[in-house]
Amino acid sequence: MNSEKRAWWKEAVVYQIYPRSFADSNGDGIGDLNGITAHLDYLKTLGVDVIWVSPVYASPNDDNGYDISDYQAIMPEFGTMEDFDRMLDGIHARGMKLVMDLVANHSSDEHAWFVESRKSKDNPYRDYYIWKDAKDGREPNNWGSCFSGSAWQYDEATDQYYLHLFSRKQPDLNWANPKVRDEIFNMMSWWCDKGIDGFRMDVIGMIGKENFNDGPMTPGALYGDFGPSCMHTETTHRYLREMRQRVLDKYDLITIGEAGGGTADAIRYSNLDGSELNMTFGFEHTDGINAHTETGKWCDYGAPLAEVREVMNRWQTDLQGKAWGTVYMSNHDQPRQVSRFGNDSPLWRARSAKMLGTLLHMMHGTPFVYQGEELGMTNIYFERIDQYKDVEVINAWRQWVDSGLVDGQDMLRWFAKISRDNARTPMQWNRDVNAGFTTGTPWIDVNLNYLAVNAEDEMADTDSVFNYYRKLIALRHQHDIIVYGSFEPLLENDPSVYAYQRVLDGQKLIVLCNWTDHTAPCSLSAAETGDELISNYSTHQEGQLQPYEARVFLATGK
């Protein structure tokens, strides 16, 4: 065994549920907690160990729950606290664990704290948020919001601006105020005392604002970048060490930071001395390979193998022996991975979905499966702006198209490729109306390919993406080398094949993935490479990989 200390959260596979779109139990067209509870056996069959549920707290749903108005109450659309307790008990009864989504960089503007804070400059809650005077008659600085527009909203009642790095209904909490930290830490402990098993921490890399200076402007940008003032600061790390001491160390938790940044940041957040978090999500292989224009991720950029491989290999090798990582391509903020990185045509969808699953699940770090990824669910490719629900899309349309800066047809093409609503269409359970998600009218359109892509059919089909994911997850539980083995890139400049190996105690695991829709030569794809553990083809051609072919070999003692 190499230097890695064993831990349950290193050996786990995490499944992310976006509750609004997972399963509707009462016919109102909105997913809910009882819908999740009704499908826990499905998740147990898949073999996942941990379930991360996106926010279920009270919220006006400006950002579908990432705008919380009461951290210790359940959103009525999702159910009651009794429904939550039943779900938690059901998860534990099946030997699985529950991770809650901690959204503490900001609250909703309808939270009681903000309602008080905006009443007057001397209100006891004023400094729970970040208020500034106008500068030269306008916003306090040039920062842009992640959801378009300025990061500052003028509030007439007290003639000041408040900061919102996301929507104007998501005012940033002032972590510099010890009362705010007390409130958040007490709330976290309250959920831990209820028996939850961890937190995924929303944009946790932003909580330590160090100054309010104007940010750098990239060519063509409409606003300045708040990154140098807010992202991955010493202050943020200090708050996380305080969180670790006051809350996290008191429980046996998995702690996952949605932090972004580079590998040096990730190593600090999830260092092996455990002073902050267990692991973080990086964005370099998702958002990073797309932000090539002044309209950011809204562009025609693709996902070239060379670029994806360089980023993912660098994250694997930089963290090696220094920090624990996560492995993902999908979540509620990303388009469907088979559409973005694979090939979602009827001919290649399942094959490429399995190839991507192989690529991810044989890597070092904790893998995350986003609801529907295990089925090979695809983008929905909306064609009209009125089909979109996502505040990020609606605000971008307003900023770029309503202003005349960008042609609407271009923006609709970019939205169809990479918008978050692609991942938020209802889970496809079966071939019944609305894919079995609801007996009512779904809050967002169902992808009409559910007749070909649905859980019921795939569970019955031994060759389905679902059953392939079951095998991948089972392999991780069976072979220490997949969890604890070192990572070594192979064929780093191959134009078609993404290959790497894992090494542990004299064993070698060789992973070969043909990233393309054509046959590719690959000398490693040969019998002498080792015993084949899994492949998405049942027949093979010596010395080459078929389109989107994945093969994993285990060699012992070589």
The catalytic residues are: 202, 258
Q: Which does 333 bind (CB under 5 to 8 A by kind): ligand TEU, Ca ion, none?
A: ligand TEU
**Residue 297 vs 508, nearer CB to ligand TEU:** 297
Q: How far apart are CA 9 and CA 50, in angstroms?
A: 9
Q: How far apart are CA 280 and CA 270, in angstroms?
A: 7
Q: State yes or no: residue 30 binds Ca ion (CB under 5 A).
A: yes
> In the bound complex, what is the minimum distance in angstroms from residue 298's beta carbon to ligand TEU?
10
**Residue 225 vs 480, nearer CB to ligand TEU:** 225
Rounded to 5 degrees, what angle do the CA atoms 251, 256, 257 make? 125
Q: State the DSSP H helix or E strand holding residue 315, giving kind and residue range, or none if neither.
A: helix 305-319
**Residue 73 vs 146, nearer CB to ligand TEU:** 146
Helix or strand or coil: residue 387? helix
> In the bound complex, what is the minimum distance in angstroms from residue 68's beta carbon to ligand TEU?
9
> In the bound complex, what is the minimum distance in angstroms from residue 28's beta carbon to Ca ion?
4
**Residue 47 vs 282, nearer CB to ligand TEU:** 282
Which stretch in 30-38, 233-241, 350-358, 381-389 sits in contact with Ca ion by CB under 5 A?
A: 30-38
Rounded to 5 degrees, what angle do the CA atoms 96, 101, 106 make? 170
Q: Which does 214 bind (CB under 5 to 8 A by kind): ligand TEU, Ca ion, none?
A: none
Asked if 130 contacts 118 with a C-beta cutoff of 8 angstroms, the reply is no
Q: How far apart are CA 225 and CA 222, in angstroms?
A: 10
> In the bound complex, what is the minimum distance in angstroms from residue 202's beta carbon to ligand TEU?
5
Give the max Cα distance, the chain: 76
Q: Which does 203 bind (CB under 5 to 8 A by kind): Ca ion, ligand TEU, none?
A: ligand TEU
Q: Which does 28 bind (CB under 5 to 8 A by kind): Ca ion, ligand TEU, none?
A: Ca ion
Q: Characterize the bridge pairing of strands 254-258 and 198-201.
A: parallel
Number of residues that bind Ca ion (CB under 5 A): 5
DSSP one-letter code for 286: T
Asked if 330 contacts 341 with a C-beta cutoff of 8 angstroms, the reply is no
Helix or strand or coil: residue 220? coil
Q: State the DSSP H helix or E strand holding residue 358, giving kind and residue range, or none if neither.
A: helix 349-361
> In the bound complex, what is the minimum distance in angstroms from residue 276's beta carbon to ligand TEU?
19
Bridge partner residues of 386 (DSSP): none
Residue nearest to ligand TEU (CB): 66
**Residue 66 vs 498, nearer CB to ligand TEU:** 66
| Nearest alpha carbon to residue 63 among 165, 206, 184, 153 | 165
Which stretch in 19-27, 166-174, 178-186, 495-503 sits in contact with Ca ion by CB under 5 A?
A: 19-27
Q: State the DSSP H helix or E strand holding residue 280, giving kind and residue range, or none if neither.
A: strand 279-281
> In the bound complex, what is the minimum distance in angstroms from residue 24's beta carbon to ligand TEU?
20
Q: Characterize the bridge pairing of strands 497-504 and 486-490.
A: antiparallel
Q: Which does 284 bind (CB under 5 to 8 A by kind): Ca ion, ligand TEU, none?
A: none
> In the bound complex, what is the minimum distance in angstroms from residue 297's beta carbon to ligand TEU?
5
395: left (phi over 0), alpha (psi -120 to 50) or beta: alpha
Q: Which does 30 bind (CB under 5 to 8 A by kind): Ca ion, ligand TEU, none?
A: Ca ion
Q: Which does 62 bind (CB under 5 to 8 A by kind): Ca ion, ligand TEU, none?
A: none
| Nearest alpha carbon to residue 155 among 115, 113, 111, 214 | 115
**Residue 63 vs 494, nearer CB to ligand TEU:** 63
Q: Which two tokens stand for residue 540?
A: 């093979």
Identify the residue among 4, 32, 258, 333 touching Ca ion (CB under 5 A).
Answer: 32
Identify the residue among 7, 10, 26, 490 touching Ca ion (CB under 5 A).
Answer: 26
**Residue 29 vs 357, nearer CB to Ca ion:** 29
Bridge partner residues of 369 (DSSP): 15
Bridge partner residues of 17 (DSSP): 53
Interface residues with ligand TEU (CB under 6 A) are 63, 66, 103, 146, 166, 202-203, 258, 287, 297, 332-333, 392, 420
Q: Characterize the bridge pairing of strands 198-201 and 70-74.
A: unpaired
| Nearest alpha carbon to residue 338 among 472, 453, 177 | 453
Q: Which does 32 bind (CB under 5 to 8 A by kind): ligand TEU, Ca ion, none?
A: Ca ion
Angle at which helices 234-246 and 178-193 pack, to 10 degrees? 40
Bridge partner residues of 490 (DSSP): 499
> In the bound complex, what is the minimum distance in angstroms from residue 74's beta carbon to Ca ion?
12
**Residue 260 vs 485, nearer CB to ligand TEU:** 260
Identify the residue among 24, 284, 373, 392 touching Ca ion (CB under 5 A).
Answer: 24
Q: Which does 457 bind (CB under 5 to 8 A by kind): Ca ion, ligand TEU, none?
A: none
Which stretch in 18-26, 83-91, 105-113, 314-322 sits in contact with Ca ion by CB under 5 A?
A: 18-26
Q: State the DSSP H helix or E strand holding residue 53, giving kind and residue range, or none if neither.
A: strand 50-53
Which stretch in 28-36, 313-321, 470-478, 511-519 sits in contact with Ca ion by CB under 5 A?
A: 28-36
Q: Which does 392 bind (CB under 5 to 8 A by kind): Ca ion, ligand TEU, none?
A: ligand TEU
**Residue 191 vs 487, nearer CB to ligand TEU:** 191
Q: How far apart are CA 286 and CA 337, in angstroms?
A: 10
Q: State yes or no: residue 83 binds Ca ion (CB under 5 A).
A: no
Q: How far apart are CA 446 and CA 41, in angstroms?
A: 23
Identify the residue among 7, 11, 28, 348 touching Ca ion (CB under 5 A).
Answer: 28
88: left (phi over 0), alpha (psi -120 to 50) or beta: alpha
Counting Cα atoms < 13 Å in the Cβ hemisphere of 246 gives 17
> In the bound complex, what is the minimum distance in angstroms from residue 24's beta carbon to Ca ion?
4
> In the bound complex, what is the minimum distance in angstroms from residue 203's beta carbon to ligand TEU?
5
CA 128 to chain centre: 28
**Residue 163 vs 350, nearer CB to ligand TEU:** 163
> Where do contacts with Ca ion occur on this chain (CB under 5 A)?
24, 26, 28, 30, 32
